Amino acid sequence: MKILVTGGAGYIGSHTVRALREKGHTVIVLDNLSRGHRGAVPGDVRLITEDIHHVDAVRQLLIEEHIEAVMHFAAHSQVGESMENPTIYYDNNVVGTYYLLEAIRQAHVPYVVFSSTAAVYGEPEQTPITEDMPYAPTNVYGQTKLMIEHMLAQFSRAYGLRYVALRYFNAAGAAADGTIGEDHTPETHLIPLILQTALGQRKSIKIFGTDYPTPDGTCIRDYIHVTDLAAAHVRVLEYLAGGGESQYFNLGTQQGMSVRQMIDAAKKVTGREFAVEEAPRRAGDPAILIASSAKIQAVTGWKPTHSSVETIMADAWRWHHTHEHGYGDTK
Ligand code: UDP
């Protein structure tokens, strides 16, 4: 198929571009490079530095290129930033996606795969989290993704668009060959911060909260390898193209790891010692977030195969220690 990947110069988008091409699909990347990296897009993939708000330009592209599906990753994704500056999240994520969907509707593209998030559930009382649990986002980022899911459902009912929304848990790791990986500025995610500490770029890694009701007192998350995430996108595209109906799926591994376990794993993989500090809780962090992935496994046959903590950490380390400054641009 011929697929437009918005945000294909970003972390999860760039790994999905690779997975799509490995399955023989043709890919065009649309990215305004506000957060993405030119270096994350292979030289032989067409990169269009356009913004999803530009409905006429995007519609023209979809029609001219005979695009058969859109994978939509282009979004801002930092929880803290979304609380301090909600307007850019509503504009970029909600308004931008509205214009993109409008271009998709006008160009009659039949399928959309959307990057959603576990943040739509907020702080659920039960674990593992299943798709039927109530929506209760606790931050603006999660709220914008939920609004987009509603928009997709309404476009689907009214105009026949078919879509899958994938609710990611904690995306982690990097391509096994070390050529693409995670590069955010500022970095707020646990694994890159631990590895930057192992590299000596930071003085210490802070554990945000050691008094949670978990076995070692630190938060538990469901870390899923970005290669497994990428493979799930290919699976759900095949599911849609094969006649599957619109759906949303959790994407996680059903396994939880604590912050301390992640730090220990990083020490083992890197062979380096580094300073660990106990710090107060970070506002809004639930104690435990673990996905049930039963639904996507049953419907599409997808299974995580790279998401052991050792593989995640080894692949992330290969990327970080060979790219100490990420892609080397300033973003
Ligand atoms: N965390 C931490 N120290 C850090 C960054 C994160 O202890 O410097 C914790 C954070 O409180 C959470 C977990 O690591 O429990 C994963 O955080 P991250 O920001 O990577 O992802 P999130 O779960 O917030 O999406």
ipTM: 0.99
Same domain, 128 and 216: no
Domain identity same for 39 and 167:
yes
> Above 70 in pLDDT, residue 331?
no
Q: Return the pLDDT at 277.
A: 98
- Looking at the structure, tell me whether residues 308 and 235 fall in a common domain: no
Distance of CA 21 from the midpoint of ligand 1 (Å): 32
pLDDT band at 285 (very low <50, low <70, confident <90, very high): confident
Answer yes or no: is 112 within a domain: yes
* Helix (H) or strand (E) segment spanning residue 206: strand 204-208
Mean pLDDT of 45-70: 98
Catalytic, out of 11, 89, 121, 141: 141
- Contact between residue 276 and residue 263 where contact means Cβ atoms under 8 Å apart: yes
Q: Is the pTM of this model over 0.95?
A: yes
207 lines ligand 1 (CB under 6 A): yes
CB of 257 sitting under 6 A from ligand 1: no
Which domain, by its residues, includes 214? 190-221+254-322
Answer yes or no: 141 catalytic.
yes
pLDDT in tens, 169-212: 999 999 999 999 999 988 999 999 999 999 999 999 999 999 99
Q: Are residues 284 and 211 part of one domain?
A: yes
Q: What is the pLDDT of residue 330?
A: 66
Per-residue pLDDT, averaged over 37-60, amounts to 97
Residues 113, 10: one domain?
A: yes
The CA 192 to ligand 1 mean position distance, Å, reads 10
Q: How far is CA 237 from CA 12, 69, 114, 262, in A?
A: 16, 8, 11, 32
Cβ 290 vs Cβ 256: under 8 Å? yes
Do 262 and 125 fall within a single domain?
A: no
Q: Kindly report the number of other CB atoms within 10 A of residue 206's CB atom.
A: 17
Number of domains in the chain: 2
